[in-house]
Structure 1
Amino acid sequence: MEKYGLFVGLVTLDLIYLAQSPPLNNQKIVAADYTVAAGGPATNAAVTFSHLGNQATVLGVVGSHPMTQLIKGDLANYKVEITDLNPTTQNAPPVSSIIVTQATGERAVISINAVKTQATRESIEPEVLQNVDIVLIDGHQMTVGNEIAQIAKARNIPVVIDGGSWKNGFDKILPFVDYAICSANFHPPNCQTEDEVFAYLSGFGISHIAITHGQKPIRYLQDGKAGFIDVATVQAVDTLGAGDIFHGAFCHHILRESFTTALQQAAHVAALSCQFFGTRRWMHS
């Protein structure tokens, strides 16, 4: 049965190149391949959630600059709805330029995040959480994310955070979070070790926490019980967006399965995505 997911955060335009290496100063290089897609953690998660047979809506700032047509076209392709927090803005959307190294699949990224496109809580439509089964917040629209998390908690809608990196204001959202799925780069204030990160998040009453480490095992804490989940080893062509795809797949599986099974299945989907160039081609495999 399809579920409804609301994905709150960053919407970018991603220009993705496959090359032998990123360029050095004053060097010009020719890419072996190239693709354009909508991007951002919440956006890629929404596309994955939709691809797995659900209905997904992205809540973020898109606007009406001519470049947004590329974002809107890509998301329409993957049946992802957009609820635009600032539909009339003429500002260009954030653009990310990404170079993926052919031999390793590692990526180098230059981008502008949502710092210049912050929306206010007045931008939120009252019915935005109607029929929603799960909410994911990536922290790039902190004010809106905070408001949505509180409403979701009051309505018993599970809230997932994508803890790719610590962002100021996350501490206001954490009391309303059910699932904290973080990367090894997630460092809350005064947390030097992973044990401290687990303790910090547990202090907010979050009972389900996981930290991913790329191809290394996922470490998790479920109701105080710790464990590890192995991740399949694959020949990575492109690791771009793997974390976002993991989060989208997790949102799909957690509505149907246990926490550890959802982590396993999400890792499986993310590993599949790494075997293809760009953030979309794995879906057509």
Structure 2
Amino acid sequence: MGFERTYNGLFVGLTTLDTIYLASNVPTNNQKIVASDFTIAAGGPATNAAATFSYLGNQATLLAALGTHAIAEVIKSDLAKCQVAIADLAPNNSQVPPVSSIIVTQSTGERAVVSLNAVKTQVDSSDIPADILTNTDIVLIDGHQMAVGQAIARLAKSKNIPVVIDGGSWKSGFEHILPFVNYAICSNNFYPPNCNSVTEVFAFLDRFGINNIAITRGGDSIQYLENSEIKYTDVPQIKVVDTLGAGDIFHGAFCYYIMRKSFANALIASAKVAANSCKFFGTRMWMNQGQL
């Protein structure tokens, strides 16, 4: 990365332990299958984005609920390897953190996921550390800790810190975060209330004064809004091994590149990173073997 400035990012939201299997197919009812490969890693949109942001050369802090359970220690160990700092919203919680079971289909790279997400680990905004935004240059919010996300977004806006949302899907409460958002990076599964088309999604987000909006569509081109016009940028075409976490990785890369490039060029660079990650099994192997 040369002598580029290092930026500090705060990533707010979900942390899980991902158990990831590579298999020939997803099992049917009452079927047992044997996986051809297996890995575990800390997961969740904000978590994978933080790991990516750190890998690219910045300083990442994850604001999430972890606690003291033995599984939380496994998550912390993986994040330590990724050089991601942790601000724990539930440091005294002894309950098991969310665990995701994931099967990646070997022939297509598509994934099937069963997860509890943050349903049982919601915390109040009063649990936010008082100095959490000190020296922070950019914030990403994935919407899984909505009360915390709302408070952080409002505070970041007051400090002129850019806020990015990971719009993987619409979550109730996002409407209270959107007024403070600078960059809305959404998937094509993100449909706010009464929105049934991409045009309506862009119009919905634009009404909140968000000037930079993009919708990723897997291996298809990215749609984005620039000067009130919907434009497209292609993504790299690759042989896909595993799509797990690609959107999260895109968001982490976007937080890195938007501090250095224009909106359109940050999207292009982020798509390259996300596509590269899909060449490898799991959400970490690309960091060990991939070339950007």
Any idea what SS the aligned residue of 1:227 has? Answer: strand
CA RMSD, Structure 1 to Structure 2 (Å): 0.5
What residue number does 2:87 align with?
83
Q: Distance in 2 between matches of 1:86 and 1:72?
A: 13
Partner of 1:168: 172
User: Partner of 1:61 in structure 2?
Assistant: 65
Alignment equivalent of 1:187, drawn from 185, 191, 214 = 191
SS in 2 for 1:6: strand
Match of 2:133 in 1: 129
1:102 is aligned, of 80, 93, 106, to 106
Report sequence identity in percent.
63
Alignment check: 8 A CA contact 1:50 1:56 kept:
yes
Q: Does the CA contact (< 8 Å) of 1:208 and 1:223 recur in 2?
A: no
Rounded to whole Å, the distance in 2 between the matches of 1:266 and 1:113 is 25
In structure 2, relative to structure 1, the CA distance for the partners of 1:235 and 1:25 (3 Å cut) is same
* Amino acid in the other structure paired with 2:209: G
Residue 126 of structure 1 deviates from its aligned partner by: 1.2
- What is the alpha-carbon distance in structure 2 between the residues aligned to residue 205 and residue 8 of structure 1? 22
Matching residue's letter, 1:40: G
Q: Which residues of 2 match residues 94-243 of structure 1 at below 5 A?
A: 94-243=98-247
Instruction: Find the counterpart in structure 2 of residue 31 from structure 1.
Output: 35
Mapped pair 1:22 → 2:26: yes
Classify the secondary structure of the residue corresponding to 1:117: coil
In 1, Cα distance between equivalents of 2:226 and 2:120: 37
Counterpart contact for 1:18–1:102, Cα < 8 Å? yes
Structure 1 residue 223: deviation in Å? 3.4
In 2, Cα distance between the equivalents of 1:77 and 1:209? 32
**In the TM superposition, what are the counterparts of 1:4-15 in structure 2 within 5 Å?**
4-15=8-19
Amino acid in the other structure paired with 1:232: P
* Letter matched to residue 281 of structure 1: M
- Give, in angstroms, the shift of residue 222 of structure 1: 2.3
Q: How many angstroms apart in 1 are the aligned matches of 2:113 and 2:224?
A: 28
Off by >3 Å, runs of 4+ in structure 1:
none
Letter in 2 for 1:148: I
Q: For 2:120, what is the secondary structure of its paired residue?
A: helix
For structure 1, the 5+ residue unaligned runs are none
Give how far 1:225 is off.
2.9
Quick one: distance in 1 between partners of 2:66 and 2:228? 40
Offset at residue 284 of structure 1 (A):
1.1
Superposed CA deviations along residues 39-81 of structure 1, whole A, max 9, x for unmatched, are 0000000000000000001101001011111100000001001
How many matched pairs? 285
Query: Secondary structure at 1:135's aligned position in 2?
Result: strand
1:46 aligns to 2:50 (yes or no):
yes
1:257 corresponds in structure 2 to 261
Q: What is the rounded CA distance, in whole Å, between the counterparts of 1:233 and 1:161 in structure 2? A: 26
Residue 226 of structure 1: how far off its partner (Å) = 2.2
Work out whether residues 52 and 249 of structure 1, in 8 Å CA contact, stay in contact via their aligned partners in 2.
yes
* Equivalent-residue separation in structure 2 for 1:11 and 1:79 (angstroms): 15
| SS at 1:129 equivalent | coil
Once the two structures are overlaid, the 10-residue window that deviates more, 218-227 or 135-144, is 218-227
Letter in 1 for 2:194: N
Paired with 1:224 and 1:251, the residues of 2 have a C-alpha distance of: 23
